Amino acid sequence: NVVRETLIMMHEYTNPLYWPISVSGRHPGEGRFTPEPYAYMAMAGGQKSFDTTMAAIYLQIINASKTKTQFGKRFLKMGISAAQYQPGHWDMNFGLLSIHRRQNWLLTVRGHNRYYVANESYPGANVFGRYTTYGNLELFYPNEGENQGSYFKDDGWDWNDLPGTTTLQVPIEKLRANIINADDFSGVEEMLLTDEVFAGGTHLGKQGIYAMKLHGSDKYDMGSFRANKSWFMFDSLVVCLGSDITNTIKDYPTVTTVFQNYLTDTSAGIYLNNQRDNSFPLSKEWKSMKDLSVIDNRNTGYYFSNAKDVVFTKKIQYSRNQKDTKDTEGAFAKMIIDHGTAPTMSSYNYAMLINTDSAGMKNFVSQMSSKSPAYKVLQQDSIAHIVYYPTQQITGTVLFSTNKSTNDSLILSNDRPCLLIYQKDKDSMMLSVTDPDLGFYDGPDDTQILPDGKRKEESIYSKKWYASPAKPSFINFTLKGIWKLENGNTIATISLDKFGNSLLQVQCKYGEASQIKLYK
């Protein structure tokens, strides 16, 4: 049953032949689905003589790879049809991965924290992968050939610019990992940890949010590098927010990468403010513009309400392959937000409209300037990121701090940082809460501090808590108004304060979404 659940979730974060770079460990871009385990699981049967779910996934994979097998022929004769992806949202917070599906596409977001390593690099493997989980957002469409969804190819790929990440742009020589044997518990490898706890996601129904507090590694003099990042995934809309982007590094710029797409065809059309441009090479920079809309070569739309310091390029890029064995080059379309050198409290705010066209993007831009925008950013600072999605009357709230005043109309106070989504109707509300601190140990970060004040590089295998169970937690909220819990609830309690507000306590564990229903 454990293996079965693992294979089902693996099927959810592939589309259907490839999986994200962010979960590829030391081999970015080299993974391709092997379908045989699903066939064997189908025949093993579990509680029954045959597992039709496993067989259906197997057929979907071999259909995508356009192969015919004896297993496939047998399953088809049994009347089994290939599986079809269903829309939904999943959070795998023991892997710090969020998964969002609609139509035929897959979107994943991944971060890191003090419990899960930021990268996995070895001599000759993922040598430039320092930023693998700095907020890596990956979008897959199926049937786009061997270039893994028409966005990644290890020919000219800029390892500074993984989509969704906020990073320090350094030359390739400085990005190369200094791989050592950190201690007696590890091999010759690099798997860096941060001291921040906050990274993870929550969901309500088929909608979800993800957030992280980013803190760079002292090993590469990035101890001053910090950012608060969040993603609000509502249907085909993704709102991407960043705040508190700060560091003292003056030698290299800090950037947030919107996309970096490999071009199989250099004449592929890009829409910039609804004007198609096929030229190559192409470079454009927006220093100050109220609105900017872009549709990339994959029919993904991007909207900026303030396009300051957005840079778009379409050109040949020069790099090194992930094994660090040869120089590479390739054609890419790329868009970044340039925060400059040594930024202080910089930010970004943009939205993705997935699988759109020129007419759809034009309508979206028009809607955003109307009295009924597609989404509203209610707060974006060191205390909270809050977004309202009118279509579903859903509010997504990331609380980076405790007991601070926010623009959330429901949450008056909280005693632990957390993520929550709630959906109100006339007389009731569904609420989902996640504590991103998985609780493998309590208190401050346990990394040794060196005499120069920097954190020592330590392997995760050296940590005493490495095999400890995660501890549950309780989060206390003050909610505006008088609410009562649905009968039969076992994970929450509620009472009233003297001001006519509700005191809600919710139990959280394992990074799961604790979901409750409340009535007025």
Q: What pLDDT digit, counting tens, does each position of 101-119 carry? A: 998 899 999 999 999 999 9
Q: What is the C-alpha to C-alpha distance for residues 407 and 10, in angstroms, rounded to an integer?
A: 38
Q: What is the C-alpha to C-alpha distance for residues 330 and 264, in angstroms, rounded to an integer?
A: 9
Phi, psi of 376 (to 5 degrees): -130, 125
Q: For residue 144, what pLDDT is reported?
A: 53
Can you read off the two tokens belonging to residue 463? 């940590």
Nearest-CA neighbor of 23 among 39, 9, 36, 35? Answer: 9
Whether the CB-CB separation of 242 and 228 falls below 8 Å is answered with yes
Whether the CB-CB separation of 423 and 394 falls below 8 Å is answered with yes
Q: For residue 143, what pLDDT is reported?
A: 60
Q: For residue 148, what pLDDT is reported?
A: 47
Residues 203-252: tens digit of each pLDDT? 999 999 999 999 999 999 999 999 999 999 999 999 999 999 999 999 99
pTM over 0.75: yes
Q: How many residues does the chain have?
A: 520
Q: For residue 18, what pLDDT is reported?
A: 87
Q: For residue 147, what pLDDT is reported?
A: 45
The percent of the chain in helix, strand and coil, each rounded to the nearest 5, is: 15, 35, 50
Report the helix count and the strand count for the chain, using DSSP H and E. 6, 31
For every residue of 156-210, DSSP letters joined together read: S--TT--TT-EEE---HHHHS---EE-STTS-EEB----S---EEEEEETTEEEE
Q: Which residues, at least 6 apart from 369, have a Cβ–Cβ distance to it below 8 Å? A: 291
For every residue of 327-380, DSSP letters joined together read: EEEEEEEEEEEEEEES-SSEEEEEEEE-S--HHHHHHHHHHHTSSS-S-EEEEE
Phi, psi of 10 (to 5 degrees): -60, -40
What's 87-130 look like in SS3?
CEEEEECCCCEEEEEECCEEEEEECCCCCCCCCCEECCECCCCC
Q: What is the C-alpha to C-alpha distance for residues 391 and 475, in angstroms, rounded to an integer?
A: 29
pLDDT values of the chain reduced to their tens digit, one per residue, 520 residues: 999 999 999 999 998 888 999 999 999 988 788 899 999 999 998 777 899 999 999 999 999 888 899 999 999 999 999 999 999 999 999 999 999 999 889 999 999 999 999 999 999 999 999 999 999 999 998 765 444 455 899 999 999 999 999 999 999 999 999 999 999 999 999 999 999 999 999 999 999 999 999 999 999 999 999 999 999 999 999 999 999 999 999 999 999 999 999 998 999 889 999 999 999 999 999 987 788 999 999 999 999 999 999 999 999 999 999 999 999 999 999 999 999 999 999 999 999 999 999 999 999 999 999 999 999 999 999 999 999 999 999 999 999 999 999 999 999 999 999 999 999 999 999 999 999 999 999 999 999 999 999 999 999 999 999 889 999 999 999 999 999 999 999 999 999 999 999 999 999 999 999 999 999 9
Question: Residue 398, SS3?
Answer: strand
Q: Which residues, at least 6 apart from 487, have a Cβ–Cβ distance to it below 8 Å? A: none
